């Protein structure tokens, strides 16, 4: 069995919402984290209602006006708390993600970014306590529902900014998480909350098949017009490699398509919802060389996949067949290669790591930035992942 959690983000996510859900689960003692960090804050944990739902509200307030801190200063505060190494490492990684997102927004280096709200001690406590709570849950996988980002504008020290705020979009760019606008014209997803999820989450999706053990409900700071402003964290157990039904193989033999088109076809099939798509060279009647296009997709993706194949290729017929699929529990971790982040996909059986594969696009980007051979960065990322996971 594997330990799985699902976070319901239909009303968005923030550090305090996630912290409320973790507190409700008994996964973290926020005052103890604040004492370890030696920061001067006031912490209020209350039971509130958001709409028709009861929820836990965690409000961390600094006593003094907060200075603008850079990444190095925040890292010193986090690392000086004497917390378990995995908690400290993950918290530092969250702030590095925030710094890199802000650096792309403002056109400066990550080390030059001056955190405003995110650098305040209340935000530091939020991030570190969230990492402590998620670490305590000992999850094999964290699945996040599509994140509601909101809309309209939000106040910042730079004036009004559009929602989703630029840092949130940068954090989500290239991550496995899915997001959408609305449902209310306010900021629903904060950089702090999104940064924690991009560091910890394995994938996006609906509640997976699990035996539910506990549910924690965390409250946001305001009431929404359309729905309760809460984040729900559902924790349970699932089979490590459960057989999954509801999958189809869609195939077509194609002998008259310009081969330069195939890479675009495969990319668009994956974007349309295919789990995988590939070509197999074949020899057809009259000795004509051709390809078999094979697409693996869930039942609910068959229609868009079929439409796309007819539109993008020269085939005039398709065949399909139901198949079974077994998928290992997997998650994403992030390793650092000479100051650059590389995502690594980790697969587990009964909680034991059986594969750790660096994301190749990340490896190429880092190799380009460092002017190093791709194989060198690939080996360094694999070694760093092995060291982390062992």
What was the pLDDT predicted at 68? Answer: 82
CA 230 – CA 253 distance, rounded (Å): 50
106-124 in b/e form (b: 16+ CB < 10 A) is eeeebeebbbbebbbbbbb
Q: Give tens-digit pLDDT for 68-102.
A: 889 999 999 999 999 999 999 999 999 999 999 99
CATH architecture for residues 243-326: 2-Layer Sandwich (3.30)
Which residues of the chain have a pLDDT value below 50?
Answer: 242-244
Residue 340 zone, left/alpha/beta (φ > 0; ψ -120 to 50; rest): beta
- What is this structure's pTM? 0.65
CA 370 – CA 103 distance, rounded (Å): 18
What was the pLDDT predicted at 240? Answer: 54
Q: Which residue has the tokens 């529990």?
A: 329
Distances (CA, A) of 334 to 46, 163, 202, 347, 358: 34, 27, 11, 14, 9
Q: Give tens-digit pLDDT for 188-229.
A: 999 999 999 999 998 888 898 899 999 999 999 999 988 999
Best CA proximity match to 70, nearest among 111, 100, 101: 111
CA 177 – CA 203 distance, rounded (Å): 6
Q: Which residues contact 372 (CB under 8 A, 6 or more apart)?
A: 366
In the chain, DSSP finds a helix count (H) and a strand count (E) of: 11, 20
- Phi, psi (5° rounding) for residue 342? -130, 125
Q: Delimit the domains of the chain by residue range.
A: 2-238, 243-326, 330-389
């Amino acid at each position: 069995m594997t330990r799985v959690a699902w976070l319901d983000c239909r009303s968005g996510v923030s550090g305090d919402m996630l912290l409320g859900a973790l507190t409700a689960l008994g996964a973290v003692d926020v005052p103890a984290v604040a004492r370890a960090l030696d920061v001067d804050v006031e912490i209020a944990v209350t039971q509130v209602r958001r709409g028709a739902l009861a929820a836990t509200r965690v409000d961390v307030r600094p006593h003094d006006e907060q200075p603008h801190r850079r990444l190095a200063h925040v890292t010193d505060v986090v690392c000086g708390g004497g917390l378990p190494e995995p908690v400290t490492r993950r918290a530092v990684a969250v702030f590095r993600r925030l710094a890199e997102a802000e650096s792309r927004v403002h056109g400066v280096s990550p080390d030059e970014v001056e955190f405003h709200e995110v650098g305040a001690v209340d935000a530091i406590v939020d991030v570190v306590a969230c990492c402590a709570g998620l670490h305590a849950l000992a999850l094999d996988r964290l699945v996040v529902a599509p994140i509601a980002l909101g809309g309209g504008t939000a106040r910042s020290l730079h004036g009004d900014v559009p929602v989703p705020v630029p840092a949130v979009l940068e954090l989500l760019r290239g991550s496995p998480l899915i997001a959408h606008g609305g449902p209310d014209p306010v900021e629903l997803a904060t950089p702090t909350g999104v940064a924690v999820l991009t560091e910890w989450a394995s994938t996006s999706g609906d509640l997976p098949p699990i035996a539910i053990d506990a549910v924690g409900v965390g409250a946001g700071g305001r009431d929404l017009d359309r729905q309760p402003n809460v984040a729900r964290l559902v924790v349970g157990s699932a089979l490590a490699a459960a057989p999954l039904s509801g999958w189809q193989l869609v195939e077509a033999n194609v002998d008259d398509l310009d081969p330069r088109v195939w890479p675009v076809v495969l990319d668009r099939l994956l974007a349309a919802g295919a789990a995988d798509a590939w070509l197999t060279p074949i020899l057809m009647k009259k000795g004509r060389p051709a390809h078999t296009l094979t697409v693996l997709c869930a039942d609910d993706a068959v229609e868009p996949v079929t439409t796309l194949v007819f539109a993008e290729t020269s085939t005039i017929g398709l065949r399909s067949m139901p198949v079974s699929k077994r998928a290992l529990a997997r998650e994403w971790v992030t390793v650092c290669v000479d100051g650059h982040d590389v995502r690594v996909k980790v697969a587990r059986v009964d909680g034991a790591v059986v594969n750790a594969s660096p994301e190749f696009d990340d490896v190429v980007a880092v190799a380009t930035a460092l002017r190093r051979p791709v194989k060198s960065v690939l080996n360094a990322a694999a070694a760093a992942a092995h060291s982390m996971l062992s």
